[in-house]
Structure 1
């Protein structure tokens, strides 16, 4: 079974996360499979729009908790692991093609950052999204801290990240995270409509426009991405992160010490 299913609908390529038994949690193998397919889509002249979505009515529950626990035991592995993710997530933003996240079920943590790297987001009204890393003693470090303020504004970004707040589709649309919202039963059609609108525009112009817009919105992206990982390396070695991962597996509330 492929970890990422590839479905071509004319010039629209759907990349479907395929770990439904784990709510499409992002482990190393799934991220590598998605990265490889993103690279193929970026290089394929027949593809004009890329849609990332999840199998089983769920986008993704975020980074696999088992791998996060291993990271708490070996924080020196963080930078190498993250380097690959950043390259693939950045490709969604950098390729001269429109990229769309179709969000159903849940979209949490690293998956929220994956959706943020896309140009546009279509979200089911009933879905739940959140960038929840502070709940486990970390910060969003795969572009989440760097990209979210440009999408929803600084105040909303601080609230989402500093509280780990969860939002539904209606709230996501209100603050600007979701471009389109629809009932779950209609989300495929809503995504298809958005893709048709993108395909009706000249592809070179679409690609050049997104490049300018991203430069305007995030002029210091390279610097803030580096700041994310520098701070995360310290947090990954902190007692709070170790306590949070242990508490999760022991099914209890974490006892944070701070400082």
Structure 2
């Protein structure tokens, strides 16, 4: 069932599985503020039955990042150009960027598992969109790069936190400051990619992973994800306590004693 189809973003849902597809292959799925609004809208349109969201892209590239039209004086029709944004007050500018970030935040909701199927280039905003997902299955031709710093900017679409969490501070700093490509072998070795497969097998690999993710009971998946997501912010003793509380809820639910 198609739930959304606008501005290069297509959303379908089939019971427990939703698929978000970037549909502008002629521009290598370059992103714009309209893309980000559509992605945020896709998150809001998900039915309650959805447990796994697959993010994929048409064409040879996952996403080449921000559409370079953003750097022109005129920018996009109906959108503030970068020079115009720079002249806004701090609260106004903060609100605009926060709005852009909404496209990247909902993928890690506790009640969802999100899987990015990444092929070809995933640059800048494309890299950050892949990082927004819980898991990444990559084709063997994948090329990640964070180019914002090279353009005089910073990665501001929520990608810095997961990047540091996955590869560590030193490697994340080097990737961002050099803007170099991270290819499939390094992506898998450093944890950026959960799995690397031949490009022709990408869709099949994602289907297999999705089926495996759906095998466990939903409430147990939600509790486990919450435990793991919060582990880095808790002390060892706090994490032990969180485990006990989560297990108590699961035991009571399985015994029919839950609220």
TM-score (norm 1): 0.78
Encode CA deviations 1:99-150: one digit per residue, 9 max, x unaligned: 0111012101011111111100011111211111111011111112222110
* Pairwise CA distance, 1:215: 2.2
Kindly report structure 1 stretches of 4+ aligned residues shifted beyond 3 Å. 7-10
User: Which residue in 2 is equivalent to 1:21?
Assistant: 26
Distance in 1 of aligned mates of 2:85 and 2:13: 40
Equivalent residues of 2:36, 2:102 under 8 A apart: no
Distance in 1 of aligned mates of 2:229 and 2:184: 24
* Pairwise CA distance, 1:218: 5.8
User: Which residue in 2 is equivalent to 1:74?
Assistant: 85
SS in structure 2 of the partner of residue 58 of structure 1: coil
* Pairwise CA distance, 1:49: 0.3
Distance in 2 of aligned mates of 1:78 and 1:54: 30
Distance in 2 of aligned mates of 1:68 and 1:218: 37
TM-score (norm 2): 0.78
* Pairwise CA distance, 1:73: 4.8
Counterparts of 1:101-116 in structure 2 under 5 Å? Answer: 101-116=116-131
SS in structure 2 of the partner of residue 32 of structure 1: helix
Equivalent residues of 2:118, 2:136 under 8 A apart: yes
2:45 is equivalent to residue 40 of structure 1: yes
Contiguous gaps of at least 5 residues in structure 1: 220-259
* Pairwise CA distance, 1:91: 1.0
Q: 2:108 aligns with which of 93, 115, 121?
A: 93
2:174 is equivalent to residue 163 of structure 1: no
Report the CA distance shift for 1:130/1:78 in structure 2 as closer, same or farther (over 3 A).
Answer: farther
Distance in 1 of aligned mates of 2:223 and 2:71: 37
Higher relative contact order (CA 8 A, sep 6+): 1
2:208 is equivalent to residue 205 of structure 1: no
Count of matched residue pairs: 217
User: Which residue in 2 is equivalent to 1:178?
Assistant: 193
- Which has the greater radius of gyration? 2
Contiguous gaps of at least 5 residues in structure 2: 73-80, 235-259
Distance in 1 of aligned mates of 2:83 and 2:223: 41
Encode CA deviations 1:235-259: one digit per residue, 9 max, x unaligned: xxxxxxxxxxxxxxxxxxxxxxxxx
Q: Please say which of residues 182-191 and 78-87 is displaced more in the overlay.
A: 78-87
Distance in 2 of aligned mates of 1:78 and 1:171: 36
Encode CA deviations 1:141-185: one digit per residue, 9 max, x unaligned: 111222211011222211111211211112110111000111110
2:69 is equivalent to residue 58 of structure 1: no
Equivalent residues of 2:105, 2:132 under 8 A apart: yes
Equivalent residues of 2:110, 2:225 under 8 A apart: no
Report the CA distance shift for 1:124/1:218 in structure 2 as closer, same or farther (over 3 A).
Answer: farther
Distance in 1 of aligned mates of 2:29 and 2:174: 26
Distance in 1 of aligned mates of 2:32 and 2:126: 11
Distance in 2 of aligned mates of 1:130 and 1:153: 16
User: Which residue in 2 is equivalent to 1:227?
Assistant: none
